[in-house]
């Protein structure tokens, strides 16, 4: 899961903002000194004159303040009563003073008489709807009521308190837009009530008023992180002076760097955070995650083991160790660590069962994975279809993984149903849902429907790069290479983010066999990749471009660079092993590379095909048959796999099965998705098939 950086609480405690309640329902403290006797000791029976008596009002106001202070010091309720009495006499002497009435309203609230406080403040607003102190007080009262109702589990009251607090803060923002504290509180309440656009607007106004406002920049960055706009989060956090950065802000910045694949900067930033707060388990976990992303698995394991040693009862530490072992292919250990994590964690931690589902899928237990994911989908459902942004993100993740497992099982209708549910979560999830739907239509060989869906999707989400790239890839597959590349050009920004775009352009040129253009594009991507973690996938694509041109020595050197950077890159291990096997050279070495890939991903159909093909080239037909047959059952529409299996059956004397597999290969290749099988290979295979039918071995077909 998206990991997500630990954020400040969305619901703001009034006590944190205003210092908490002055009085509690404790027994009275020993008596303390009282103010000198005077008018305060007499009943409030004075009839106000036609003109306000400011002197008398000020006298009673000062006594009211003094009694309020004494109540806080000595915890005596009688001082509260006397303070209220003095406020009333001050108001009687100056009945038009809104200031005094708001002061009295605040005293009512702080002494536990909330209803009276609300009533008094609302009376002021009836006389002056724009009186800022009344709006300010009422907003704080309703935020405090929100804290109370949350503790009691009253969610209906929660919504009412949020709505009323927002109402008064919006009024305050209108009459006193320079009140940054109230603006920040308004933005936080917008965020808590799942109104991120309004929250962003408010925080932007705070920053515009004070460009160096740490709180405004921090909250703006939190919104961007919640929305997945990590570049903007980095921009906001980078405006905070270095001297004002604390461990939490460094943690947010490190997480944003991680999500934009700036892993080196993420590691450096997490180290700064840990220098300030070395005991933070969350920061150390995120630091370990960054080390993992950089391929520094051993260092990451050291950090995680530190956490386990520090707190062996924290399930998060075992969860992270399980994820590390899952990545390294230590499936038994990963399963044990996930079970340990589950036993130590609250049931609402949904990432643990999600990782268990990933594990089961990786080892081929698809039915178990589906069972777990269906439970997560049900558990993440909310009545009325109303989701906060994090809830929608989590639900989308569960549905996507469920749909992918269904798709692997060729259960396309169930997969599409899962992806349509992602679509229903709203516009933030829409582009990813569309991508999954289009890919599924392609796998079903519904090319026209897929293109129509892509056309509609890019119109609905014209700024989404992933959708634009997918549509461009489909255009390239249809031979419209220049049009495909032109579609991606507007997304180029002359920044490091262009790396992914140039990779996509290179792959489109490669599909069209325009190798020189592909090499130029991938070199541009490499030029934008100063760090090893950025270079890994770029070099992998560069290696595939070399291999397609039969530049085998350059391809091999490039794939070895990838494996030097990340020995756990199973795709590079498989590609290098298959390249050797297909040429029939260094076959023992090829098997080692492919087996390493399978150790990391044991049920990957492409890797199983590679292993079977290597054994076939070695003449070990008995060893070749199981992986090739399993590969053909897992990936039923790949013409290369069916050709390989047909070749094996022919050499095993099973000519009828050989013909069947070759015919299947020829049937699949025109609509195959992401296959290197081309028209020349189809022509050659058709010739072999015709010859086999005309001149079967020994004059007849046999099984």
Q: Where is pLDDT greater, at 199 or 18?
A: 199
Angle 155-156-157 (CA atoms, 0-180°, nearest 5)? 90
> In 10 A of CB 175, how many CB atoms?
12
Domain for residue 44, yes or no?
A: no
Q: Are 578 and 590 in contact (CB under 8 A)?
A: yes
CA distance 402 to 394: 12
Q: Are 71 and 91 in contact (CB under 8 A)?
A: no
Instruction: Indicate whether 360 pLDDT > 60.
Output: yes
Domain for residue 677, yes or no?
A: yes
pLDDT the model gives residue 8: 31
> In 10 A of CB 669, how many CB atoms?
21
Domain for residue 285, yes or no?
A: no
**pLDDT 10s digits, 347-356:** 889 999 999 9
> In 10 A of CB 70, how many CB atoms?
20
Alpha carbon of 651 to those of 184, 252, 586, 616: distances in Å?
A: 74, 60, 21, 9
**Of the ranges 89-98, 342-351, 551-560, which is most confident?**
551-560
CA distance 357 to 333: 15
Domain total for the chain? 1
Closest CA to 316 of 275, 264, 352, 353: 352
Q: Where is pLDDT greater, at 493 or 21?
A: 493
Domain for residue 508, yes or no?
A: no
Alpha helices in 424-496 (DSSP H): 430-443, 447-460, 465-477, 481-488
Domain for residue 674, yes or no?
A: yes
Average pLDDT taken over every residue of the chain: 87
Q: At what angle do helices 315-327 and 297-310 cross, to 10 degrees?
A: 160
For residue 521, with 0-12 CB atoms within 10 Å meaning exposed, 13-18 middle and 19 or more buried, which class applies?
Answer: buried
Residue 183 — pLDDT band, cuts 50, 70, 90? confident
Q: Are 450 and 459 in contact (CB under 8 A)?
A: no
**pLDDT 10s digits, 502-524:** 999 999 999 999 999 999 999 99
- How confident is the model over 555-561, as a mean pLDDT? 98
Domain for residue 322, yes or no?
A: no
Q: What is the DSSP letter of 257?
A: H
The model's pTM: 0.69
CA distance 254 to 264: 10
pLDDT the model gives residue 9: 33
pLDDT the model gives residue 39: 40
Residue 335 — pLDDT band, cuts 50, 70, 90? very high
Domain for residue 522, yes or no?
A: no
- How confident is the model over 537-542, as a mean pLDDT? 97
**Domain range spanning residue 650?**
636-703
pLDDT the model gives residue 431: 96
**pLDDT 10s digits, 587-629:** 999 999 999 999 999 999 999 999 999 999 999 999 999 999 9
CA distance 580 to 85: 94
Domain for residue 685, yes or no?
A: yes
């Amino acid at each position: 899961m998206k990991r997500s950086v630990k954020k400040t609480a969305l619901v703001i405690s009034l006590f944190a903002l205003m210092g908490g309640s002055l009085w509690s329902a404790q027994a009275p403290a020993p008596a303390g000194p009282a103010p000198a006797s005077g008018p305060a000791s007499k009943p409030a029976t004075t009839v106000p004159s036609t003109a306000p008596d400011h002197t008398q009002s000020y006298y009673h106001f000062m006594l009211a303040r003094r009694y309020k202070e004494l109540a806080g010091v000595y915890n005596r309720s009688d001082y509260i009563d006397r303070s209220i009495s003095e406020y009333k006499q001050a108001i009687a002497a100056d009945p038009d003073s809104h200031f005094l009435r708001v002061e009295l309203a605040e005293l009512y609230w702080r002494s536990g008489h909330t209803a009276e406080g609300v009533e008094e403040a609302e009376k002021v607003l009836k006389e002056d709807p724009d009186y800022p102190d009344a709006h300010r007080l009422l907003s704080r009262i309703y935020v405090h009521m929100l804290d109370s109702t949350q503790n009691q589990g009253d969610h209906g009251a929660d919504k009412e308190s949020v709505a009323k607090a927002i109402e008064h803060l919006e009024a305050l923002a209108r009459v006193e837009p320079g009140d940054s504290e109230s603006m920040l509180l308004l933005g936080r309440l917008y965020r808590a009530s799942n109104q991120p656009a309004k929250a962003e607007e408010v925080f932007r106004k705070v920053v515009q008023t004070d460009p160096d406002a740490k709180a405004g920049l921090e909250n703006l960055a939190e919104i961007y992180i919640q929305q997945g706009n990590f570049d903007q989060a980095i921009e906001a956090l980078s405006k905070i002076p270095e001297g004002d950065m604390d461990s939490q802000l460094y943690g947010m910045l490190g997480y944003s760097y991680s999500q934009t694949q700036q892993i080196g900067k993420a590691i450096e930033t997490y180290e700064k955070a840990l220098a300030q707060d070395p005991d933070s388990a969350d920061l150390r976990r995120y630091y370990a995650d960054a080390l993992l992303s950089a391929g520094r698995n051993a260092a990451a394991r050291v950090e995680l083991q530190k956490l386990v040693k520090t707190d062996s009862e924290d399930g998060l530490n075992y969860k992270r160790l399980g994820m590390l072992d899952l990545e390294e292919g230590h499936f038994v250990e990963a399963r044990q660590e996930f079970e340990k994590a589950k036993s130590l964690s609250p049931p609402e931690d949904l990432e643990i069962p999600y990782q268990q589902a990933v594990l089961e899928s990786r080892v081929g237990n698809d039915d178990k994975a589906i069972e777990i994911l269906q439970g997560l989908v049900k558990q993440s459902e909310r009545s009325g279809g109303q989701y906060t942004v994090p809830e929608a993100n989590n639900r989308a993740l569960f549905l996507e993984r469920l749909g992918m497992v269904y798709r692997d099982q060729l259960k396309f209708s169930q997969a599409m149903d899962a992806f349509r549910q992602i679509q229903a979560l709203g516009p933030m999830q829409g582009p990813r849902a569309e991508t999954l739907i289009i890919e599924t239509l392609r796998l079903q060989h519904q090319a026209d429907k897929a293109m129509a869906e892509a056309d509609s999707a890019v119109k609905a989400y014209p700024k989404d790069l992933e959708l634009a790239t997918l549509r461009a890839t489909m255009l390239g597959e249809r031979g419209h290479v220049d049009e495909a590349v032109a579609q991606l050009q507007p997304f180029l920004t002359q920044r490091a983010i262009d790396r992914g775009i140039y990779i996509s352009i290179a792959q489109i040129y490669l599909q069209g066999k325009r190798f020189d253009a592909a090499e130029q594009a991938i070199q541009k991507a490499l030029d934008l990749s100063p760090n090893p973690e950025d270079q890994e996938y770029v070099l992998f694509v560069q290696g595939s471009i070399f291999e397609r041109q039969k530049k085998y020595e350059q391809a091999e050197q490039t794939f070895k660079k990838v494996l030097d950077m990340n020995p756990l890159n199973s795709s590079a291990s498989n590609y290098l092993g298959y390249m050797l096997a297909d040429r029939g050279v260094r076959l023992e070495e090829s098997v080692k590379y492919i087996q390493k890939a399978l150790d990391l991903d044991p049920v990957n159909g492409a890797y199983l095909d590679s292993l079977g093909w290597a054994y076939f080239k070695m003449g070990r037909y008995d060893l070749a048959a199981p992986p090739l047959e399993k590969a053909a059952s897992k990936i039923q529409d790949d013409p290369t796999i069916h050709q390989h299996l047909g070749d094996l059956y022919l050499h095993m004397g099973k000519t009828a099965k050989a013909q069947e597999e070759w015919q299947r290969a020829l049937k699949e290749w025109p609509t195959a998705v992401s296959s290197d099988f081309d028209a020349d290979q189809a022509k050659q295979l058709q010739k072999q098939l015709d010859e086999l039918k005309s001149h079967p071995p020994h004059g007849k077909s046999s099984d």
